[in-house]
Amino acid sequence: MDERRFAPDVDADMEQAAALGVFATPTLFVNGRRVEGAVSVEELRRIIEDASKEPR
């Protein structure tokens, strides 16, 4: 870690996350819908099922 060998990769990931408005972990996107924080399996299943019903 002291080498900071992966610092450029981490910095790029942080920039991409900020550009997407992601400031918390975990954060998932389901068909463009942001899902932040820990969600139960049941809740995630419902989100995915709802997304699968949306027109593309």
pTM of the model: 0.69
pLDDT tens digits for range 6-55: 999 999 999 999 999 999 999 999 998 999 999 999 999 999 999 999 88
3-state secondary structure 9-25: HHHHHHHHHHHCCCCCC
CA–CA gap between residue 22 and residue 27 (Å, rounded): 7
Asked whether the predicted pLDDT for residue 1 surpasses 70, the reply is no
Q: What are the boundaries of each domain within the chain?
A: 24-56
